[in-house]
Amino acid sequence: MRFLGLLLVSIATSFCSYGQEKNEDNIDALIDELFFNDQQFVDEILETNFSYNFLYTSVSYNSNTFFSGRDSGTDQFNVIPQISYYHSSGFNASISGIYYQNFAPSWDFTSVSLGYFKPFGASKNWMFNLGYTKYFYSDDFDDFTNSIDVSLGIRNKKRTLGTTLAGSYIFGTDNSYQLVSNSFVSFNLHRTANFALRFRPTISFVVANQTFGKYTLRIINGRRVLVYSSTEVFDLLNTQIGFPISFSKKSWDVELGYYLNLPNAVADETNLSNTSFIGFSVGYLFDFSSKK
């Protein structure tokens, strides 16, 4: 279950980005291009044609907690605070963590990430990000404490369609890997120079290497014995469809969305139910760029 929890956070810290027109020269007016989260937990990096230097703080709330779309049997909300720094050189860094309502300890871990972001292509509509994340667990869990992440994304010129494919190698005393695909279509419900209201449906797929274990009752030498066996698979674990509405004004960003999980049964899993939750996030941008 711990690894499934790590999958949840890995999705949450995936990187996406947006193109920016050359005639935009005030970064405060760009907040409506930032952080329209796929599922709360997504850092979206700003791609612009001028220098930027800013800090973005956010707090996200999920009404229920699922691991790769699967119900853990414990109804509980979770909260994820995050602070992220971005520079036009491509350098980015963030620190975040996750709080679970009913787990002990409730503060599960703190993660620190460093990355490098680069747009490329004739129209700068392709995006590449390479990152490293270190996890510090409250209970000294050490199976998966590091992650190397690579993502590649593409957007159309109007930034109304886009997709990102991210791969992660997760390691510690054990190791695993995963692929996460995120795609979106964006609709402007209302937009002015410093205000935006958008509806941005998303769909994501999580494919990962996963070990499933079970105990089987067997008769050995006339005695009943529980025998443990495990099955390792690399398969689609979950499909998530999101329906977020985002409101941005100057340096503030607010998002409210409904998310539906469609977990895929693998190994010996059977009768997995679809799950859903409400996500809400609030963010604020501190701009340190030089104003002209």
CATH number at residue 151: 2.40.160.40
Query: Do 253 and 195 form a contact (C-beta atoms < 8 A)?
Result: no
Question: Would you place residue 95 in the very low, low, confident or very high pLDDT band (cuts 50, 70, 90)?
Answer: very high
Spatial contact of 233 and 265, defined as CB atoms under 8 Å apart: no
Task: Report whether 58 contacts 82 (CB < 8 A).
Answer: yes
- pLDDT tens for each residue of 131-161: 999 999 998 888 889 999 999 988 888 778 9
Does the residue 79 lie in any domain?
yes
Number of domains composing the chain = 1
**Mean pLDDT over each residue of the chain, to the nearest integer:** 78
For residue 194, what pLDDT band results from cuts at 50, 70 and 90? Answer: confident
The model's confidence at residue 86, banded by pLDDT at 50, 70 and 90, is confident
pLDDT recorded at residue 243: 96
**pLDDT at 101 > cutoff 90:** yes
Residue type, 163: T
Residue 39, pLDDT > 50, answer no
The closest of 44, 43, 41 to 9, measured between CA atoms, is 41
Q: What token pair was written down for 15?
A: 């990187």
**So what's the pLDDT on residue 261?**
95
Residue 221 lies inside a defined structural domain of this protein = yes
Domain that holds residue 74: 2-287
Say what the pLDDT of residue 52 is: 73
**Angle CA 65–196–10, to nearest 5:** 30
pLDDT at 64: 93
Query: Does any domain span residue 246?
Result: yes
Average of per-residue pLDDT across 230-239? 85
Q: Residue 86 falls within a domain, yes or no?
A: yes
Residue 271 burial class via C-beta count within 10 angstroms: exposed 0-12, middle 13-18, buried 19 and up: exposed
pLDDT at 279 over 90: yes
pLDDT over 50 at 125, yes or no: yes
* Whole-number pLDDT of residue 7: 42
User: Over 80: is that where the pLDDT of 210 sits?
Assistant: no
30 within a domain of the structure (yes/no): yes
- Structure-token pair, residue 185: 């279509």
Instruction: Look at phi and psi of residue 159 and say left if phi exceeds 0, alpha if psi is from -120 to 50, else beta.
Output: left
Is residue 226 in some structural domain? yes
pLDDT at 23 over 80: no
The answer to whether residue 47 sits within a structural domain is yes
- Res 4 pLDDT > 60: no
Q: What does the pLDDT read at residue 1?
A: 41
Is residue 230 domain-resident? yes
| pLDDT at residue 231 in the model | 75
Q: Residue 39's closest CA among 249, 193, 238? A: 238
